[in-house]
Amino acid sequence: MKVITPKKLLEQLSPSELVALLGPTATGKTNLAFKLASYLPFDLISLDSRQVYRCTDIVSGKDIPETFSFTDRGCLSFFSSPAGFRLYGLSLIEPSTKFSLHELLRYLPAWVAETKDRHRGVILVGGTIHWFYRLLSGQYEAVFTAEDKKWRRQAAKMELKEIQEKLLRLDKRVKERMSQADWFNRRRLIRWYERLTAGSLPGGERKEVDKLFQSKRKVLLLDRPDDELFLRLRRRIETRLKAGAIEETKKLVKNYGQEIIPLESPGYRQILSFLQGKLDLTEMKDEWFKAEVSLVRKQRCWIKKMTKMIKFKIEATSLEGKKS
């Protein structure tokens, strides 16, 4: 991949191409995407599994400027910037609702269609790197497969080894095509069985998604050295606490309970332990930081798998402003 400055990058991008901007958390992706869309006719689509939820603005780090306005249209909701671009994929659903790549792909064609109607290109931006990997490598077929409730009830009564054997009877080479971690993950095994027994994908949905991800594209990486990135993480934790992260967590627990998916994310988990008296304030900050560092390492593992896809690595030293 080539190293490029943001200024030079502007000369390389075209609205006729799909642009994917990815990188670890706290590198500045959101800020850079805003700048690109301010200079070039692009709309933004967020690929962030934490920021799709409403009432999670502070800890998840949506970082939406006050000058942006929000248009609430359910799955077609978006933020509008004064510069004229839109941002889709944030604040879509209630925190008690499940959201995965499956739901994202249901919404994505409609977002892209609106963007094209506005004669603008698409920039995908976010930190859920395994979504980028699956979409850009074409590994999203299983996402269209509906849950088989009868099979799931049956699998709930089976030992892990029994599920593995059942999969091998369907496909003798299935173990070779799965990672070792997935082979011993009950949930993943169940999903693989559904994929193998589901048949073909809905033609219309698959066609629209294929059209987007098989088009001409540029994949961009934004990362920073560890010392710089970890300092940004520390500062970001302090900023979010001052902005009301603890109060936001209290409201989520009060309105939705403690079992919701957003509370499993870095930041919320540690604040919840603080509220339960399991951690003091200093310990909570340290554990939050450790969780974010762990997330960065996982993100970089996915990025490593995408090395051949990435066209440009952006010089972070040329950036300034907010963190993503």
Higher pLDDT, 270 or 197: 270
**pLDDT grade, residue 241 (50/70/90)?**
very high
Give percent above pLDDT 70 in the chain: 93
Q: Quickly list DSSP for 183-241.
A: HT-HHHHHHHHHHHHH-SPPHHHHHHHHHHHTS-EEEEEE---HHHHHHHHHHHHHHHH
Consecutive H or E run containing 6 = helix 6-12
Query: 2-139+204-225+302-318: which CATH topology?
Result: Rossmann fold (3.40.50)
Range with top average pLDDT, 138-147, 165-174, 201-210? 165-174
Domains 2-139+204-225+302-318 and 226-300 share a fold: no
Q: Count other C-beta atoms under 10 Å from residue 131's C-beta.
A: 22
Residue ranges per domain, the chain?
2-139+204-225+302-318, 146-198, 226-300
Output the pLDDT for position 316.
81
Output the pLDDT for position 324.
44
What are the beta bridge partners of residue 42?
121
Output the pLDDT for position 141.
64
Query: 226-300: which CATH topology?
Result: Helix Hairpins (1.10.287)
pLDDT of 170 higher than 90? no
Mean pLDDT of 222-251: 97
